[in-house]
A = this chain, B = another copy of it.
């Protein structure tokens, strides 16, 4: 039986994890309660969002675990008080959530039973916008349920993973010594979104070369006057994690994000952009199936028409 989003949200705000899980499923899977859940969720403050992305095995879960500890100890991100933290685990490359994500949950041992910490994995959403809308929507549901800090952990460094990570206020890219190559393929994409680089497992050989490779990558271009810092951690024993938390806070302050008003406006602009793009892509997709589209394909293929005239007419 499906239940009313308004009732579920009241329960979620009072601490019900079952109600919260149901609401996230509503925004993840679409369906009749999707829009109403959205309406309710966006009436509350957006949380501060930290994105953690990197190749599988880089140690993202252990790092996230350490960041949760640091954030709970600090008690705030700038003006935003942090009493509860949500962790959203996303693996865009696997349509079936399974081993890896379950494994992540198990690995986040110190907080898996902590009542202040909520962990949720997200699968690909089949409707409008896929994960690029489902993740920001879930973030808003978490915000409405009282989570003022959300950590989004995304597996992989391809463009899709990077796009999801980029919905964060502070985006952290995790790599390991000797793994410079894993960044090469999507260098431009990473440079555009990374706010911080972390070389985890820094006690392994190859650290110096990896730092040098990353620095060279960063030499290619600065973005909005922010050059991402490169820091090192050994998440397994906590080395460097306090410093990483400080760097995240510095970035947040540099962007003026702990100020609730500025933070809210920045997030809102990104949210509208993403929905606009998804709606419009959906319309293009619908055009694709239509009779007019088919006629234009024929005209371009054999009657000397061109796709620019076709697009002008189809969009009229």
Number of identical protomers: 2
Q: Which residue of B lies closest to A271 (CB)?
A: B307
CB pair A310–B275 under 8 Å, yes or no, is yes
Query: A35-B308, A186-B159, A307-B268 given as contacts; is B288 within 8 A of A273 (CB)?
Result: yes
Query: A277-B281, A284-B280 given as contacts; is B182 within 8 A of A265 (CB)?
Result: no
Stretch in A97-105, A228-236, A295-303 touching the partner: A295-303
CB pair B185–A307 under 8 Å, yes or no, is no
Specify which chain B residues have a CB less than 8 angstroms from the CB of A273 in the assembled complex: 284, 288
Pick from B55, B261, B278, B297: contact of A185, CB below 8 A: B55
Check: A245 CB closer than 8 A to any chain B CB. no
Check: A264 CB closer than 8 A to any chain B CB. yes
Q: Which residues of A contact B (CB under 8 A)?
A: 35, 38-39, 41-43, 55, 92-93, 156-160, 181-189, 261, 264-265, 267-269, 271-281, 283-284, 287-288, 293, 296-298, 300-302, 304-312, 314-315
Jot down 5 A-B pairs with beta carbons below 8 A, ordered by A: A159-B186, A186-B186, A268-B298, A272-B314, A280-B283
Given A276-B287, A279-B315, 18 more pairs with CB closer than 8 A = A38-B306, A43-B304, A158-B187, A159-B160, A159-B186, A160-B189, A181-B181, A184-B185, A268-B300, A269-B297, A271-B300, A272-B297, A272-B307, A272-B310, A273-B284, A273-B288, A275-B310, A276-B315
